[in-house]
Structures are given as structure tokens and as C-alpha cells.
Amino acid sequence: MAVLTILDETATGGILNRLELEVAQEMLTVRELIARRVQQEVAAYNARQSDVYRGLVQPTDSERVLNGFRLRQPKPIDAEQQLYKALEGFQQNGYFVLVNDRQVESLEEEVWMGSGATVSFIKLTPLVGG
């Protein structure tokens, strides 16, 4: 089983978050990669119920804070709802994914996750105004 380091980055290369994900298979679809990441984030948050959720997408009833999201009322986060938002965000170009320094285009694309693989989620900031 390999340990994969995942980086959340800004478009300018700043690192927002770093997490490690255990991966048993060498090949995964992008959909499976996102699902495993989101499930791990939600499980970790729900187990500790800290003030700030550091995840790929913003949970419902939360506000953006430095390096994460703060829920208005502390409660467990729904992993299925977060996964839906994350997959929708990928399809609507809310963020893009680099695997082994190559941008992936489709949720069904298979990517190599063996020893030495790298994954970056590049979060895009929407422009405000017209």
C-alpha cells in the first residue's frame, strides 16, 4: 500500500493544504481519487469536530475562513453531499487536478498512483464583479 501526498495549491503555486491518502491500487479513475480524498477529509473532520474544515469544497452552511471553512453551527458533515459538490466542481472547472505533473481532463480517466506519484488540486478563485 502506497501513501500518496496530495497538495491543494493556488493558481500561483502557493500550498493551501497537504494531506496523505493510503492507496492500495496503482491505477484509479479521477472520480475514485476525488471520492477517496473527500471521504477521508469528512471522516477526519467528523471524528474531531474542530472549528475549521479543511477540505476540497465548501460545506453547506459554512463560511470561508483562512485556510478552510467554518460551519455556522458545528455538526457532522455529510460525505455524500461533499462528494457530489466535489465532482460537480471538477466538471465546472472550479478546480483542476494534476497527476504526475499532467492535467487530467475527465472523471473517468485512469491515472497511475504507484510509488512516487504526485497529485495537486489547483483551486481557482472566481473573479468578483463584471
pLDDT, one tens digit per residue, over 60-111 is 888 888 778 888 888 899 999 999 999 999 999 999 999 999 999 999 999 9
Q: What is the mean pLDDT of the chain?
A: 89
Strands 2-10 and 119-123, sheet pairing:
parallel
| Stretch 18-37: mean pLDDT | 93
Beta strands in the chain (DSSP E): 2-10, 15-23, 27-29, 52-53, 62-65, 68-71, 95-99, 102-103, 110-112, 119-123
Residues facing residue 102 across a β-bridge: 99
CB atoms within 10 A of CB 85: 19
Return the pLDDT at 61: 87
130 pLDDT band (50/70/90 cuts)?
Answer: very low
The whole-angstrom separation of Cα 121 and Cα 103 is 10
Q: Kindly report the pTM of this predicted structure.
A: 0.90
pLDDT above 80: residue 129:
no
